[in-house]
Structure 1
Amino acid sequence: MSFWFGYLRRQLMPSVCLWCQQPLAWHEPQLCHHCHRHLPRLDAALTQHNALYLPPVQRGLAQARFDALYPMAWYQQPYRHWVQRWKFQQGLAEGELLCQLIGEKAAALRDTDGIVPDAVGFVPMSAARLRQRGFNQALLLAQSVARQWHRPCLALFDSPALVPHQTGLSRRDRLANLREKIQLNSGTLPAHVALVDDVVTTGATMDWLTGLLKNAGVQRVDVWCLAVTRHSTAASSPSSSIESALNILPR
């Protein structure tokens, strides 16, 4: 009910920018031009289009089994707010915005003659969690990426058991949660796969899925996400948390 109420309200009432809250001229984009231009982003040129080269990522994902990581930004405001609104409060507009943004990043790779994977996969969700949330955010993001590349979006994995929420858990605990709860679907697999999720924190989920794929013969796995956690002592300090909260408004 809340999903459809939000949809009807957005169709009947003027839309506002999800960052500065100023009215928009039309419904499709969720950000005004000014806020879109000033969104925090990772500079792909500095990482050779692979964020695994960044020291704050290497510290947390030093033993990552996937070959490349393509985040849009650090896990900070306003992305943190939008992701949480989408996943836990049925934020339809926030979900549309995030799908638009990751689609733009995928289009940029295509337009610069980058190596486009053969297929797009996504982190699975159990039937129980799907009934609870109403949608799989990883699937919606993956579909946006696949549309830009004209590649198939494949359900490569099953999640027959409910995976407990991973928020706040260590890498070891996250991996323990995944064992025997996510399985690889049978069938012919492409050589190069892109896996999509909303946020990469410890990399445990993507490592587990990558292992399943590579054990089945996949040669290369790229990970695409909205945001990645910065692994540094400064990022966990109280002062940096306050600074991150203040960054909710555009400058």
Structure 2
Amino acid sequence: MLGRALLNGLFPPTCQLCLQVVERDIALCRYCERSLTHNHHPCACCALPLRDPHSGEGLCIACQEASFDFDRVVAPFLYDTALAQMIGRWKYAGDHRLTPLLGDLWLSRACPGPLPDLLVPVPLHWRRQLLRGFNQAELLARHLVTRHPRLQARQLRPGLLTRQRAARVQAGLGASGRGENASGAFTLNGSCDNLHVALVDDVCTTGATADAASRLLRAGGARAVDVWCLARTPGPIPGIG
């Protein structure tokens, strides 16, 4: 504690958005934290923000008409400009200081309900992970397990799923393109018989990646699959979207 206080005195922590000095445990000033867009009325399945939270039993139109292999998406924030900036630096610039910030933000806002038996990060293809040097989903999952006292006894199995082919970067693809990109992309390397699984990722855009990975987890025996991510893009999901 003394060493940390001395370090903070010499190099005061700054807000990761506005760069002002902050005097709190989280590296985000109160103004910037309040400016983040919370996902107040998400669809009970895909976490798409609902215009009318009282219609359709809490489901968006797409989830009323389609079925998915995941049970629900837990996404406490919407993917706005501020989160896009931080997640972009985290993923593409390797700014690992953002891992505890983003993980703590998730823990402060998410309502995950019944806790899972194990956490499975959405994997990167080995070439992409080699170039990037890390898998951001695994970093997030490890932080959640470390910081949440009731998750510390849960299993973290980063090797349960692997990507068997290098998919194109999802950013910039439409819903149909993302679906084709994710189809057949994963391999299951074990079983999860009768287990409740939390599939951990950074952002849910169309649900195609989560659905493809969840399909394999179901085939491996999972009784329930939740998708835990930092943010949900506010656009619609057409079909499996």
> What is the TM-score normalised by the length of structure 1?
0.74
When residues 135 and 208 of structure 1 are mapped into structure 2, their CA distance, relative to the original with a 3 A threshold, is same
When residues 53 and 161 of structure 1 are mapped into structure 2, their CA distance, relative to the original with a 3 A threshold, is closer
Contact 1:195–1:223 (Cα < 8 Å) also in 2: yes
> What is the TM-score normalised by the length of structure 2?
0.77
Superposed counterparts of 1:32-43, under 5 Å: 32-43=29-40
2:117 counterpart letter in structure 1: D
Q: Offset at 1:229?
A: 1.0
Contact 2:92–2:132 (Cα < 8 Å) also in 1: yes
Moved more, 220-229 or 96-105: 96-105
Mark the runs of 5 or more structure 2 residues left unpaired by the alignment: 1-6, 52-58, 237-241
1:153 corresponds to 2:156: yes
Query: Deviation above 4 Å: which 4+ runs of structure 1?
Result: 9-12, 46-51, 59-62
Task: Percent identity, please.
Answer: 32
Contact 2:125–2:165 (Cα < 8 Å) also in 1: yes
When residues 37 and 55 of structure 1 are mapped into structure 2, their CA distance, relative to the original with a 3 A threshold, is closer
Match of 1:18 in 2: 16
What secondary structure, in the 3-state scheme, does the structure 1 residue paired with 2:197 have? strand
When residues 52 and 94 of structure 1 are mapped into structure 2, their CA distance, relative to the original with a 3 A threshold, is closer
What secondary structure, in the 3-state scheme, does the structure 2 residue paired with 1:17 have? coil
Match of 2:28 in 1: 31
Match of 1:124 in 2: 123
Equivalent-residue separation in structure 1 for 2:48 and 2:127 (angstroms): 37
Give the root-mean-square deviation of aligned CA atoms: 2.8
- Residue 185 of structure 1 is aligned with which of 174, 183, 189? 189
2:13 counterpart letter in structure 1: S
**Structure (1/2) with the larger helix percentage:** 1
Q: Offset at 1:20?
A: 2.9
Q: Offset at 1:40?
A: 2.5
Match of 2:95 in 1: 91
Contact 2:15–2:21 (Cα < 8 Å) also in 1: yes
Superposed counterparts of 1:46-195, under 5 Å: 46-47=41-42, 52=47, 54-55=49-50, 58=60, 63=66, 64-105=68-109, 109=112, 114-147=113-146, 148=148, 149-150=151-152, 151-155=154-158, 156-195=160-199
Equivalent-residue separation in structure 1 for 2:61 and 2:27 (angstroms): 34
